[in-house]
């Protein structure tokens, strides 16, 4: 299906689907304003969705980082404990 074309002419009229509308026609101006408002609303929703997804990713990343840090801390504590035990064993020998 062919997309409708819109053309503007110098006499401030608009041709849409082979019909000509003058820009001073209140219906055209009103429709244009409504479309612009809808576009603004859609853009704002997209921004909000994008920000929400960004926050979710950031939260997951932060949680993962925290879990890795806790794991490293446990491993380090385990290593230090084992080293301490080995040191005590050597002292008893």
Give the pLDDT confidence of 12-64 residue by residue, as tens digits: 666 667 777 766 656 666 777 888 899 999 999 999 999 999 999 988 999 88
Of 39, 25, 1, the residue nearest 14 (C-alpha): 25
| 22 inside domain | no
pLDDT on residue 87:
80
Average pLDDT over residues 65-73: 92
Which structural domain, as residue segments, surrounds residue 87?
27-92
| 21 inside domain | no
9 pLDDT exceeds 70? Answer: no
| 54 inside domain | yes
Contact 7, 15 (CB under 8 A): yes
| 15 inside domain | no
Query: How many independent structural domains does the chain possess?
Result: 1
Q: Is 93 helix (H, G, I), strand (E, B) or coil?
A: coil
Q: What confidence tier does 75 reach under pLDDT thresholds 50, 70, 90?
A: very high
Strand partners, 14: 8, 21
| 19 inside domain | no
Q: What is the percent of the chain with per-residue pLDDT over 90, rounded to a whole number?
A: 39
| 14 inside domain | no
| 68 inside domain | yes
């Amino acid at each position: 299906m062919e997309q409708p074309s819109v053309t503007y002419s110098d006499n401030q009229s608009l041709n849409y689907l082979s019909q000509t509308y003058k820009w001073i026609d209140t219906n055209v101006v009103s429709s244009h304003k409504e479309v612009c408002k809808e576009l603004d609303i859609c853009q704002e929703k997209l921004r909000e969705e994008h920000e929400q997804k960004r926050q979710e990713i950031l939260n997951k990343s932060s949680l993962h980082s925290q879990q890795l840090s806790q794991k490293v801390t446990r491993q380090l504590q385990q290593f230090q404990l084992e080293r301490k035990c080995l040191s005590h064993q050597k002292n008893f020998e």
